Amino acid sequence: MISTSTKNIYSIVDIKGKVPFSYKQILSSKALKFIADLHLNFNERRLEVLSSLDSAHNVNNLNTLPHSLTRPKNIRNGELAYELTYRKIEIISLDERDLIKEAFYPLSGLYIVDFENKLSSSWENIIEGQITIKDIINNNPMIEPDENVDSDTLVEKLVQLMIHPRSLYLNEKNIQVDKEPISAAFFDFGLFFFHNAKKLVEQGFTPYFYLRNIDNHLEAKLWNDIFIFAEEQLHLPIGITKAAA
């Protein structure tokens, strides 16, 4: 696997968008190294996968989101699948901070934070949305561990917030890695995972992603390998990351 260094990361990563001081907490050198490594290791496979798919079919469905996930199809099969059944599911945009925070309250429904929403797709909304999520996950006292929680009911904690990254077809035009545009999906997934996955796992949650319209085994395998790579990089248990499609 290819691995870059934070020492020369700005010779590899070129940020085209504006980066005020507040954005640097998300676009740190370590976070940029993480997404650069995702690109360098998986972008060629991404392009191969896209060439194997019917792009017209996928593009025509970019603006369609389901009202429920009553029978999710998991890339990683596991005991959490049933936790997505018969849940109140709400799709929210990155700027709905109160609803993102509400996801961690007891008995809340399942909230899907939609990076692909048209209201979310600007550079400012994407980065500020990542800041919002990082701030809530890392500073919200509602997600501190509860020693009195019965382990049999812990699964109720695990799937409260699901991230919907942008499509593999899309590029993030404000970031280039090695003079190539980075996949918007890699960018959204990578920044969220780098900043939040370890905290979620430590507090009894799991990183969960909604990957829409995956009906090609090559695309499912690509995402599975990305999950393994990301878990290894952050020294998390292999298999802890889950996805529904």
Pairing of strands 161-164, 171-177: unpaired
Q: Residues 132-152: pLDDT tens digits?
A: 899 888 876 545 544 544 444
**pLDDT, tens only, 118-135:** 666 789 989 998 998 998
Class of domain 6-244: alpha beta
Sign of the alpha-carbon torsion through 77, 79, 82, 87 = negative
Q: Could you identify the residue written with the tokens 């048209």?
A: 118
Summarised one tens digit per residue, pLDDT across range 65-90 is 333 333 334 455 444 444 555 567 77
Say if residues 109 and 90 touch (Cβ distance below 8 Å). Answer: yes
CA atoms within 13 A on the CB side of 14: 8
What is the pTM for the complete model shown? 0.81
